[in-house]
Homo-oligomer: A and B are copies of this chain.
Amino acid sequence: MTTRFSLAVVPGDGIGPEVTSQALTVLDAVAADHDVAFERTEYDLGARRWHATGETLPETVLEEIRGHDAILLGAIGDPSVPSGVLERGLLLRLRFELDHYVNLRPSKLYPGVPTPLAGSVTDRGDIDFVVVREGTEGPYVGNGGAIRVGTPHEMATEVSVNTAFGVERVVRDAFARAQARPRKKLTLVHKNNVLVHAGHLWKRTVDAVATEFPDVTTDYLHVDAATIFLATDPARFDVIVTDNLFGDILTDLAAAVTGGIGLAASGNVNPDRTAPSMFEPVHGSAPDIAGQSKADPTAAILSGALLLEHLGLPEAAARITTAVEADIADRGTTARRTEEVGEAIAARVAGGVAVG
């Protein structure tokens, strides 16, 4: 009996299509052995469509996407489109409309991966943590505006919106993840000495939910201090919970110190399953190398593993991460083409045979 999952695939802009295609190859490579099949519908959203029609995410397309079991997304954004149009109108719109309140971003320094950190830092312990970034509130809500634009009297605001409802549900999710990990440690990152209203809501919520998770230890760091520790002692982190903007910043830095944005996967998760969750590499569309088969598809492939976990296929997911780890350990210094990386990982997944 084959279980069929329907995937909405949004390759998007720049290197998005190239890396998504490899992620799908690898998903197909595990499918048969686990008695699943992935049916996909591709959605042509992004810069090309915006130029052709002026649309970012038509209502009808959003409704169609809602009908799928999960979404695989490549990357969104192109220099030919004014900054913000596709990000707000398509990527963030999907995250908000589909209530992706847990933006899950694991960071792990795999053996053999080059890191910008000195040995004195990486020797401090295993670097393996996950950032639970809130995905539907904070300064990302789009609650801002401007008056007298273009005059010397212009005034522009951006409002960070934080609700007890929104903070509590993501904090509870983060505690549950911490609880399930060996170290059981949760770090709240905010800036509650300056952003006192939002910051105190976050802090009080963590303190309150902590009583439900007595084996999880918690601590608090200001966001500025958190960046210091990410550079000097990332092994100290287990689970980090933080707001949408701080999470955006911390996860790029986390990716950088654990071998680069080419390896960083993410899931935009709706834990209540009222809408499909969406899986995408943390990296952007990298228009400068688009279409040249230079992009590393590993982050997209690992995002596929997160997708499998979300669909309740942890063993299939583990096969992908194991294959990726093995591929990374064998990476030499010769650059491989995007499809070479994808095929090598797919081959390992399918047969356990080292290719490449």
Contacts and interface: CB of A to CB of B under 8 A. Distances in A.
Nearest to A154: B164
A232 interface: yes
The size bracket of the interface on A is 35 or more
Interface string A270-291: 0000000000000000000000
A117 interface: yes
A81 to B, nearest CB: 10
Interface string A323-349: 000000000000000000000000000
A121 interface: yes
Interface stretch (A40-48, A249-257, A302-310): A249-257
Contacts of A62: none
Nearest to A165: B152
A160 interface: yes
Interface in A142-168: 144-146, 148-165, 168
Interface in A250-270: 251-253, 255-257, 260-261
Q: So how many copies of this chain end up in the complex?
A: 2
Given A83-B196, A197-B156, A204-B150, A231 B116 contact: yes
A158 B231 contact: no
Contacts of A162: 155-158
A115 interface: yes
Contact of A197 (B121, B157, B230): B157
B228 A249 contact: no
Contact of A228 (B118, B161, B201, B261): B261
Nearest to A160: B158
A163 B161 CA distance: 21
Contact of A120 (B116, B195, B227): B116
A198 B156 contact: yes
Given A158-B160, A194-B248, 7 more contacts: A83-B192, A84-B193, A117-B118, A144-B160, A144-B195, A144-B196, A231-B257
26 contacts: A83-B200, A84-B194, A84-B199, A87-B194, A88-B194, A114-B120, A116-B120, A117-B117, A117-B118, A144-B196, A144-B198, A145-B197, A146-B197, A146-B201, A153-B163, A154-B163, A156-B197, A156-B200, A157-B159, A157-B160, A157-B162, A158-B162, A158-B197, A227-B253, A228-B252, A232-B260
